[in-house]
A and B are shown apart, each in its own frame.
Chain A
């Protein structure tokens, strides 16, 4: 559905992972011109570090539009960070980035 900006940055043995996912995150409770906008939001997200899952997140419609997340994981420059998400419509998205 949306594109993902993934920015891992290593500093003192810890990689700060910043992710910005473009996604409408509709709660399914909003009305536009009198019609209910159907729910359309990320439900699940997985972040991996060098192939190992480090974060497994259940996301609800309460998270803001174009969700922003930040995590920290022990690691070094050059490590691979991967983010995969799935939304309630079954659509998926993913991004991979090497830590700076």
Chain B
């Protein structure tokens, strides 16, 4: 438990440190997501790199009419022991859109995300301790962050 806490704070610390070092974050400027969430996002990106192809269903439109509202559905209900479903947008500022820890609900989530531009969207499903992914490229004609 202590090791995890230490690792967690180390990760969060380093994530913020690199961002500040790169001049991306001025402290007075709005920090859209907390350091803790950014750490989760970095961890998700790392998981994505390491994960093998999943056998679950990931529905996302090939072309998003409106980048502000892109419906995505992850259906891993046929998988056993699903504990977590995460959705990441590779080319967004903070890739991790949401991470759902399931402790009784079935392996299924549906939501709507914002996409700034065309990007692969990754669904990560962790079941029985193993994380797998399905990626889908979503083309965006109008960006979703008002830009």
Contact = CB atoms under 8 A, between A and B. Distances in A.
Interface of A: 14, 17, 25, 27-32, 36, 38-39, 41, 43, 47, 49, 52-65, 67-74, 88
Contact of A60 (B41, B106, B115): B41
Interface in B31-75: 31-34, 37, 40-41, 68-71, 73
Interface in B94-120: 94-106, 108-115
Contact of B113 (A32, A38, A47, A63): A63
Contact of A56 (B70, B92, B101, B144): B101
The 6 closest A-B pairs by CB, nearest first: A54-B104, A28-B32, A62-B97, A28-B30, A70-B110, A30-B146
Nearest to A20: B112
Nearest to A52: B104
Interface of B: 29-34, 37, 40-41, 68-71, 73, 77, 89, 92-106, 108-115, 144-147
Given A36-B29, A60-B33, A73-B106, A31 B111 contact: no
A58 B99 contact: yes
Contacts of A74: 104, 106
Contacts of A64: 68-70, 111-114, 144
Contacts of A55: 100-105
A70 B111 contact: yes
Given A55-B104, A63-B111, A72-B106, 9 more contacts: A28-B31, A30-B147, A43-B33, A54-B105, A55-B102, A64-B144, A65-B68, A74-B104, A74-B106
Contacts of B96: 58, 60, 62
A28 B32 CA distance: 5
B110 A58 contact: no
Contact of A57 (B31, B99, B114, B144): B99
